[in-house]
């Protein structure tokens, strides 16, 4: 029994150290914006909201959040709709090599999200008349993210037992009814996971909006924050940290809410 206690004590110490490792670099983000003497070290000094005040003096900083919301929500909707329909087909109508096909698509999405692909992507958007529009940014980001989403969602669908489907078919449900009445409700978690992931990746995407958009008015926060870094330089730490916190909060809160309500995990729902 003693042996077990010791080993579980070591276990907890180890877990605490790992947790500290994950949290340590992030603490700064939650402290510095409220500091009256912001620096690269963690020190609160006298708490103040002044740093946020200076962020809001810059109109670009404010509407860039609106732009981020438009882009991220658009990408999320496009991804969830396209991926859930396709994942259903991939899960229920097996054809040879479908898994490998999805992997090839994931490989392609890696090369297209790389920097060398920016020339084709830019010219593609020009020829589609989508340059400098949210729609172009949304579709470009979504196109790159859909294969991974199909892959994740498919495994949720795969875990739904065949018997559910057969019962529904006997009841006279159509294929589309089956998707909406059985698959989607039973895979709610999966939908939530891909929605969260695509929202997060669109929210953080710098390169595509930077390349495809060309006016201050349409830039999302990911591009605007870059302005702050390069142009303001390191010393303006109060402003940068305040902006960074505002920019990061929606993602963190979104995750925590999703995690609380649905549980954020790659878990295939029901087990047959």
With contacts defined by CB under 8 A, name the span among 44-52, 160-168, 180-188, 236-244 that binds another protein: 236-244
CB of 164 or CB of 200, closer to another protein: 200
Q: Which of residues 180-199 bind another protein (CB under 8 A)?
A: none
CB of 164 or CB of 210, closer to another protein: 210
Q: Where are the alpha helices (DSSP H) in 32-97?
A: 50-56, 59-92
Which member of 67, 121, 184, 209 binds another protein (CB under 8 A)?
121
Binding residues with another protein: total (CB under 8 A):
126
Tokens 């999200």 belong to 113
Asked if 62 is part of the footprint of another protein (rule: CB under 8 A), the reply reads no
CB of 41 or CB of 163, closer to another protein: 41
| C-alpha closest to that of 63 among 256, 213, 198 | 213
**What's the residue count for the chain?**
272
Under the phi-then-psi rule, with left for phi > 0, alpha for psi from -120 to 50, and beta for the rest, what region is 45? left
Task: In angstroms, give the least distance from the CB of 49 to another protein.
Answer: 19
CB of 34 or CB of 134, closer to another protein: 134
Task: Give the C-alpha separation, 151 to 83, whole Å.
Answer: 9
Which member of 45, 47, 66, 114 binds another protein (CB under 8 A)?
114
Q: Which of residues 18-57 bind another protein (CB under 8 A)?
A: 18-19, 21-29, 39-42
Which member of 33, 51, 64, 144 binds another protein (CB under 8 A)?
144
CB of 135 or CB of 164, closer to another protein: 135
Q: Would you tell me how many other CB atoms lie within 10 Å of the CB of residue 89? A: 16
Which member of 44, 49, 169, 256 binds another protein (CB under 8 A)?
256
Reduce the DSSP state of residue 268 to 3 states and report it. coil
| C-alpha closest to that of 154 among 194, 185, 181 | 194
Q: Which of residues 203-222 bind another protein (CB under 8 A)?
A: 203-204, 206, 210-211, 214-216, 222
Reduce the DSSP state of residue 150 to 3 states and report it. helix
Task: In angstroms, give the least distance from the CB of 142 to another protein.
Answer: 6
Reduce the DSSP state of residue 220 to 3 states and report it. coil
Task: Give the C-alpha separation, 105 to 107, whole Å.
Answer: 5
CA dihedral 194, 197, 203, 209 (to 10 degrees): -70
């Amino acid at each position: 029994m003693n042996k077990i206690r010791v080993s579980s004590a070591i276990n907890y110490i180890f877990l605490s150290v790992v947790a500290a490792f994950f949290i340590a670099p992030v603490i700064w983000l939650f402290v510095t914006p409220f500091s009256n003497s912001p620096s690269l070290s963690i020190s609160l000094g006298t708490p103040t909201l002044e740093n946020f005040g200076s962020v809001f003096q810059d109109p670009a900083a404010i509407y860039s959040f609106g732009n981020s919301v438009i882009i991220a929500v658009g990408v999320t909707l496009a991804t969830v709709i396209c991926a859930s329909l396709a994942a259903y087909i991939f899960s229920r109508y097996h054809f040879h090599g479908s898994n490998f096909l999805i992997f090839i698509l994931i490989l392609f999405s890696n090369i297209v999200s790389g920097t060398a692909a920016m020339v084709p992507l830019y010219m593609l958007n020009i020829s589609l008349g989508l340059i400098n529009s949210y729609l172009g940014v949304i579709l470009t980001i979504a196109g790159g993210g859909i294969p991974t989403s199909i892959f994740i969602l498919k495994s949720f669908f795969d875990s739904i037992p065949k018997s559910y489907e057969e019962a529904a078919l006997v009841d006279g449900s159509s294929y589309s009814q089956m998707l909406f009445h059985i698959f989607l409700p039973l895979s709610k978690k999966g939908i939530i996971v891909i929605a969260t992931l695509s929202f997060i990746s669109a929210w953080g995407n710098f390169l595509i909006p930077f390349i495809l958009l060309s006016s201050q008015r349409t830039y999302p926060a990911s591009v605007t924050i870059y302005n702050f870094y390069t142009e303001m330089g390191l010393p303006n730490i109060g402003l940068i940290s305040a902006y960074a916190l505002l920019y990061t909060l929606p993602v963190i809160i979104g995750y925590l809410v999703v995690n609380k309500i649905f549980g954020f995990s790659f878990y295939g729902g029901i087990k047959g």
